[in-house]
Amino acid sequence: MFRACIILQYCGEPAVSDLSQLKDYRSDDLGIRQFRNDTLDIVFRLHSPEIELAHDALNAFHILDFQGKPFLIDFADSGYHDCFAWEEGKRLTRDVLPAKEGEVLRQMGSQSVECYELWYFLKSLDYGLPEEIDLYGEDIFCTRITSAGYLYKLGIRRRWPRFRSKEELWNTCVNHWRFVHSNWKKYHPDAVVDPPLGTVDLQEYLNSEINTGCAL
């Protein structure tokens, strides 16, 4: 009886369990995300005209840490890929992405990154700001959020079943509002000034609603 085996090179250990964790993995004291950036460069390189290969199953467990460098594995489902994100004579790298890190992801849509695998990978890496927030199962455009009270009223009026108390709902709404408020200019590039943060205390907010005759 003959037996066969395949000896594989040791390629390291899994770096992260979720792609969104890659942004902070091995970041240095200055916040430079070299491991994440090197991973992006590898994926871009695979899609280049010189290689024209799509991984076609890229997830966190396909990215290993080999002595501090990313190592991609499992190309069983990969195949030829004429990537539309590449322009003739122009290298696709982090430096020429249509949107820089931290910009709203809608600005990096199909008209700029015309490749599903690259687009999905960038979104999974939390590369840019989300276009929507998920509040108890309902997607709400960030550009529509104007205060914590706006989100709170939505939750109360639509009677979302997934929050356990008004306090929990309020705290969740405040966290989302703080995030949108801190990135107001990016969501509203034409805005001249940022709006005030406003009320972030539930009782203060409820009292103000009573005074205006809009008690919830």
> What residues contact 200, with CB distance under 8 A and at least 6 apart?
148, 174, 177, 178
Distinct helix (H) and strand (E) counts, the chain: 6, 7
Rounded distance between C-alpha atoms, residue 71 and residue 83, angstroms: 22
pLDDT in tens, 81-130: 887 666 544 555 555 454 455 555 554 444 445 677 887 787 777 666 77
Tens digit of pLDDT for each residue in 36-84? Answer: 888 888 888 888 778 888 888 888 999 999 998 999 999 888 998 887 6
pTM more than 0.75: no
Phi, psi of 133 (to 5 degrees): -115, 150
DSSP state of 66: E
Three-class secondary structure of residue 211 per DSSP? helix
CB distance 205 to 149 below 8 Å: yes
Q: Are 197 and 203 in contact (CB under 8 A)?
A: no
190 residue type, one letter: D
